[in-house]
A and B are shown apart, each in its own frame.
Chain A
C-alpha cells in the first residue's frame, strides 16, 4: 500500500486541476470496480456492488485535490506573483519548492524577511529562474503545487497532500478488499474540496445516496503545544467523527461505527474537530438530506508540505471501512 501512497502524494493536483491525479486513481482502481465514470466537475465515481434487499446506495468520498498556488502576474523581471488555491499559510511558503502542471519548477522567495513578522501572501513571489518577463515560461492563470518527496519513517509517513491522498489510498484499498457487500457503493474521488467542498456537492447530487461517508484527515492534539485541546492522536486508530465545523455526523451512524469497531477489535477514537470541514457536509445537505458520517485519519502539520500520518491508523481505517461496508447498515 505504501507504494500506492507514494505515487498518490507525489502526483500534483491542486483544486480544479485534478486530471493527472485522476488518471493515477483510475489506474489504481484497475478492473476492481463494476463501473467508473467522471462527472462535469471531474469527480471520479467508481461503483462496486448491486443494491440488494438489505442494502443501500452508499457514497464514500475522499477528495483528490490538494492546496496549491496560481500565478496572478509576471513582473518585468520575470518574478511570479500568485494567489492561493485553498488554505495556504504564508509561513510554510518561504523557501518552498513548487512544480507547475507543465513541469516547470520554481522556489518561493520573499524580500525583507523580518524576524517575528508574519508574511502576507502578497509579500511572496515564485522564482522559476527566468531573467525577464519574456523569458518566463509561466503565464497568468498557471497552477502549481508544492513539491516535496514522500518519506517513509516506518510507523509514520510524511508527505505533502497526505490531505487527502491518504484517504484516496484507503478508498482504493477498501474497494479492492470489499469482496461482498449488500450495498451499491459509490466510491467518489472528489475534486475541489479545499476551495469549499465543491466536487462532493455535485457528486452527491448525482449519486443520490441513501447514506454517505467522507474519508479525510483531521487535526491532532498530540504535539508539544497544540494550542487547541483535541483528543485525537496519531496511532490511536481511525477517528470516528462526531462533528466538525461543517457538519454534525448522524449520531446513529456514529453509534453503529463504534459498535462495529468494538466487535472487530479495531482501535478507534472519537473526533470533535472545532475548525475544519469535509465532504460529509455536501453528502448530508444534498437533495432532501442524507445521513452522513466520516472516518478520519489523524494527521499532524496539515496544509504544510510535510503532513504526517500513522501507518497503523491507515491499515485500521481500511479494516473498519471494509467491515462497515460489508454489512447491512442499521440506523436504529
Chain B
C-alpha cells in the first residue's frame, strides 16, 4: 500500500516561517494580542466567518458543501505560560509571578522579554561565588527572584506587564527548538486545516485564550459554537529519555518523539469519546500515518471543558509531542508536526453523521 498523502499537507518553508512567527510572539495567558493578530491575518482571507469574542478567542467558521454536514470544533490555545510583573524595586529590579505551570527551579539565569515591546531582561540569582554549599541545596522560590532590566529599559516596565522566555525559534535539521511550541503547533495546524478544509464538514476553529490558567477561553468558545463533536489540538510532553539504571524500563514517558501524533484516551480533564479515538486510529492505519497513544493519566486540554458544554459534546485531543514542555526551550520534530496535520485531515475527511449518531460506546 502506498502512502496516500495530499501533497498540500506538507510542512514546507511557508509553514515553518509561520510557526517561527507564532513561537517568537509573546502571548502569555490573558494578553494573547500578538498571536491573535497573526491568526487573524492568516484566516481572514480563507474563512466564511471570523469573530473575536469577549474573552479574546478567535472563532473561525469554514463551511463545507455536502449534505448533512457535521459541525466539528477544533480548538488550539494561543496562550503560553510566562510571567507577570508584580512590583518595581530600586535599580529596575522587578518582582514577578508565574502565569501557568512553571517549575521555579528552572528560572534563575534565564533571558526574558518583557511587555509588548519585548524589552530584554534576565531572571537573576546569586552567583555561585557568593553562595554556600548549603544554600545551593535549596530551591530558590519565585518570590525571591527578580527580573533585572537595568537603567532606561527598566523605566518602561510597569506592574501587569507580561514576560516570556527570550528563546528564539530555530530549525535544527529534522528538529525545531523554540519556546511556546505548546501550543503554537496547534495554532499553526488549525490555520493549515482551514486552508485545506475538507468539504464534508463545517469546520469550527477556535483559537482559544487562557488555556494555561484553567481552560477558560475554550469554555465560552464551545458554548458559542455548540458543535456536534470536538477535537483539541495541543502539544504534550515527550519524556522518552533513558532511565538511570539501564535494567529499568522507562514506563512513564507520556509520549515519544518521532512516534507521530499523540491520540488521547484519557487525561485528568477528559475521558475521550472512543468513537473519535477509533476514527483517528482508522485514519492513521488506512493512510499509513504514524500515531501513538498518549499515556493515560495527568494533564488536561481544552477538551476538558468543551466536552462538558451544554448537553455534552463528544470530544478528544491530539497533540504534537515535544520534549521539555513548559520550560524556556523545547525540542520537537518536524515529522511529528506534519503527521499530526495529516492525521487530523484524514480523520476529518472521514467524519459522517453516523459517527456520532448512536450512543457513546467503545
Q: Residue A146 at the B interface, CB < 8 A? A: no
A202 touches B296 (CB 8 A): no
B307 touches A41 (CB 8 A): yes
Interface residues of A: mostly helix, strand, loop or mixed? mixed
**1/0 contact string of B233-266 vs chain A (CB within 8 Å):** 0000000000000000101100000000000011
Q: Residue B111 at the A interface, CB < 8 A? A: no
A19 touches B360 (CB 8 A): yes
B266 touches A16 (CB 8 A): yes
* Interface residue from A22, A75, A141, A202 paired with B293 (Cβ < 8 Å): A141
A72 touches B296 (CB 8 A): yes
Q: Residue B120 at the A interface, CB < 8 A? A: no
Number of interface residues of B (CB under 8 A): 25
In the complex, which residues of chain B have a beta carbon less than 8 angstroms from the beta carbon of A16?
266, 271-272
B251 touches A40 (CB 8 A): no
Q: Residue A105 at the B interface, CB < 8 A? A: no
Q: Residue A323 at the B interface, CB < 8 A? A: no
**1/0 contact string of A189-214 vs chain B (CB within 8 Å):** 00010010011011101100000000
Q: A70-B266, A122-B252 are in contact. Are A42 and B310 (CB under 8 A)?
A: no
**1/0 contact string of A75-106 vs chain B (CB within 8 Å):** 11000010101000000000000000100000
In the complex, which residues of chain A have a beta carbon less than 8 angstroms from the beta carbon of B360?
19, 38, 40-42
Q: A16-B271, A72-B296 are in contact. Are A101 and B362 (CB under 8 A)?
A: yes
Q: A41-B360, A101-B362 are in contact. Are A15 and B252 (CB under 8 A)?
A: no
In the complex, which residues of chain B have a beta carbon less than 8 angstroms from the beta carbon of A192?
271
**Residue on A nearest B356 in the bound complex, by CB:** A40
Q: Residue B311 at the A interface, CB < 8 A? A: yes
* Interface residue from B272, B295, B356 paired with A140 (Cβ < 8 Å): B295
**Residue on B nearest A76 in the bound complex, by CB:** B249
Q: Residue B313 at the A interface, CB < 8 A? A: yes
Q: Residue A255 at the B interface, CB < 8 A? A: no
**1/0 contact string of B288-315 vs chain A (CB within 8 Å):** 0000010111000000000111111110
B297 touches A72 (CB 8 A): yes
A330 to B295, CA, bound (A): 50
B312 touches A41 (CB 8 A): yes
Q: A38-B359, A101-B362 are in contact. Are A205 and B295 (CB under 8 A)?
A: no
**Residue on A nearest B263 in the bound complex, by CB:** A141
**Residue on A nearest B309 in the bound complex, by CB:** A202
In the complex, which residues of chain B have a beta carbon less than 8 angstroms from the beta carbon of A85?
266, 271
A19 touches B249 (CB 8 A): no
* CB within 8 Å of B: which A291-323 residues: none
* Interface residue from A76, A83, A195 paired with B297 (Cβ < 8 Å): A83
In the complex, which residues of chain B have a beta carbon less than 8 angstroms from the beta carbon of A122?
252
A19 to B358, CA, bound (A): 12
B265 touches A141 (CB 8 A): yes
**1/0 contact string of A1-40 vs chain B (CB within 8 Å):** 0000000000000011101001000000000000000111
A40 touches B313 (CB 8 A): yes
* CB within 8 Å of B: which A56-83 residues: 70-73, 75-76, 81, 83
Say how far A59's CB is from chain B's closest CB, in angstroms: 13
**Residue on B nearest A41 in the bound complex, by CB:** B312
Say how far B168's CB is from chain A's closest CB, in angstroms: 36
Q: Residue B361 at the A interface, CB < 8 A? A: yes
**Residue on A nearest B298 in the bound complex, by CB:** A83
In the complex, which residues of chain A have a beta carbon less than 8 angstroms from the beta carbon of B271?
15-17, 85, 192, 195, 198
B311 touches A205 (CB 8 A): yes
Q: A140-B265, A195-B271 are in contact. Are A40 and B295 (CB under 8 A)?
A: no
In the complex, which residues of chain B have a beta carbon less than 8 angstroms from the beta carbon of A201?
308
Say how far B186's CB is from chain A's closest CB, in angstroms: 22
Q: A16-B266, A195-B271, A206-B311 are in contact. Are A42 and B359 (CB under 8 A)?
A: yes
B362 touches A141 (CB 8 A): no
* Interface residue from B265, B266, B295, B308 paired with A202 (Cβ < 8 Å): B308
Say how far B222's CB is from chain A's closest CB, in angstroms: 11
**Residue on B nearest A69 in the bound complex, by CB:** B296
Q: A15-B271, A16-B266, A42-B360 are in contact. Are A202 and B251 (CB under 8 A)?
A: no
A203 to B311, CA, bound (A): 6
**1/0 contact string of B305-330 vs chain A (CB within 8 Å):** 00111111110000000000000000
A75 to B249, CA, bound (A): 7
Say how far B264's CB is from chain A's closest CB, in angstroms: 9
B251 touches A81 (CB 8 A): yes
In the complex, which residues of chain B have a beta carbon less than 8 angstroms from the beta carbon of A17?
271, 362
A72 touches B295 (CB 8 A): yes
* CB within 8 Å of A: which B128-173 residues: none
B308 touches A19 (CB 8 A): no
**Residue on B nearest A44 in the bound complex, by CB:** B359
In the complex, which residues of chain A have a beta carbon less than 8 angstroms from the beta carbon of B249?
75-76
A198 touches B297 (CB 8 A): no
Say how far A202's CB is from chain B's closest CB, in angstroms: 3
A83 to B266, CA, bound (A): 10
A32 to B307, CA, bound (A): 31
In the complex, which residues of chain A have a beta carbon less than 8 angstroms from the beta carbon of B307?
41, 198
What is A's interface to B at a CB cutoff of 8 Å? 15-17, 19, 22, 38-43, 70-73, 75-76, 81, 83, 85, 101, 122, 140-141, 192, 195, 198-199, 201-203, 205-206
What is B's interface to A at a CB cutoff of 8 Å? 249, 251-252, 265-266, 271-272, 277, 293, 295-297, 307-314, 356, 359-362
Between A and B, 13 residue pairs with Cβ closer than 8 Å are: A17-B271, A19-B360, A39-B312, A40-B314, A41-B308, A76-B249, A101-B362, A140-B265, A140-B296, A202-B312, A203-B311, A205-B311, A206-B311
Q: A19-B359, A70-B266, A141-B277 are in contact. List 16 more A-B contacts (CB 8 A).
A: A15-B271, A17-B362, A19-B361, A38-B360, A40-B311, A40-B312, A42-B359, A70-B296, A72-B251, A81-B251, A83-B296, A83-B297, A85-B271, A140-B265, A202-B308, A206-B310
**For the complex of A and B, 5 pairs with smallest distance between CB atoms:** A16-B271, A202-B312, A40-B312, A141-B265, A206-B311
